[in-house]
Amino acid sequence: MQDVIKFQTLEPGIVQLTMQDTAHKNTFSDALVTGLIRAFDHIKASNSYKVVILTGYGSYFSAGATKDGLLALANGQGQFTDTNIYSLTLDCPIPVISAMQGHGIGGGFVMGLFSDFIILSRESIYTTNFMKYGFTPGMGATYIVPKKLGVSLGHEMLLNAQTYRGETLKQRGIPFPVYPRNDVLTHALETAKQLAEKPRVALVTLKEHLVTPIRQKLPEIIKQELAMHEKTFYQQAVKERVSTFF
C-alpha cells in the first residue's frame, strides 16, 4: 500500500491518504484501487481515527479509469461495479475531506465528490468526461454531480463533458472552497483539526445520519447507470473514441 498510497497519521485522530501512483498519473490502476480499498478497510477497523484527508500528488488528484480499463469495459469484460471504489469515502464511518489539489478527471472527480468536505484548487481541471468517449456516466456521477454542484452546472458537466478550471467553478458558484494549489492541504488540515476536536462517537453518529439518504439512493442510481451502459458502452464508436482521445 505504501507504494501508491501513502498512509500518514498527521495528528491524533487525523489520517492522510495520499494517492501517488506516479507511473499511472493516479488513474485507477490495480495498485491504486487495491491500496485505497485496503486503506479504508484499515480505517474502518480502527477506533482511533476521527477524520480522513484524501489527496493526490503534484498536479494530480485522481485521473479516473485507465485506458485499458475503459477498453475492457467497452468489450464487455466486466462492469464498473466489479470493484466499488466510487463510494469508499461515502461508506467511511468518519468524515472524509477530499483535498483535490490536482486534476480530478472522470471517475476520479466523482470519487472525490462523495466525500463529506471538498476543496478544489484554482489551477486544476475538473471534468466528468464520460460522454467525451461516447458512453453515459457511471460511478454514481448522474446523482452526486448535480447534488454537489447544483442541477444546472451538474447537468452541463455531465452532458458536455467539458473541462473546468477550479477558478471557473468558483465563479460559477460551487458551494465549496477553491484555493491556490499550494494552499489546499493547509486548509484541509485546518478543517480536519476542527473536526478532530469533537468526540468520535458524535462524528460517526452524525455522519451516519447525514449520508444515509445518499447511501439508500445510490444502489438504484447505479442500477440505472448500468442500464444506460447496456445501451451506450458496447459500441464500436466508444472503442474508437477511447483509442483516439485518451
Cβ atoms of 140 and 220 within 8 Å: the answer is: no
Q: What is the residue whose three cell numbers read 478527471? A: 105
Residue type, 126: Y
Residue 234 has pLDDT above 70, yes or no: yes
Residues that are catalytic: 229
Query: 5-180 falls under which CATH superfamily?
Result: 2-enoyl-CoA Hydratase; Chain A, domain 1 (3.90.226.10)
| Strand 5-11 with 14-19, pairing | antiparallel
Residue 1 has pLDDT above 70, yes or no: no
Alpha-carbon distance of 59 to 124, in angstroms, equals 7
**pLDDT single digits (tens) 49-82:** 999 999 999 999 999 999 999 999 999 998 988 9
Q: Please report which confidence band the pLDDT of residue 2 belongs to, taking 50, 70 and 90 as the band edges.
A: low
Average pLDDT over residues 172-183: 97
Contacts of residue 197, defined as CB under 8 A and 6 or more positions apart, other chains included, come to none
Within the chain, how many helices (H) and strands (E) appear?
Answer: 10, 10
pTM for the full predicted model? 0.96
| Sheet architecture: strand order including 125-127 | 60-62, 103-105, 125-127, 164-165
Alpha-carbon distance of 91 to 96, in angstroms, equals 10
Average pLDDT over residues 99-119: 98
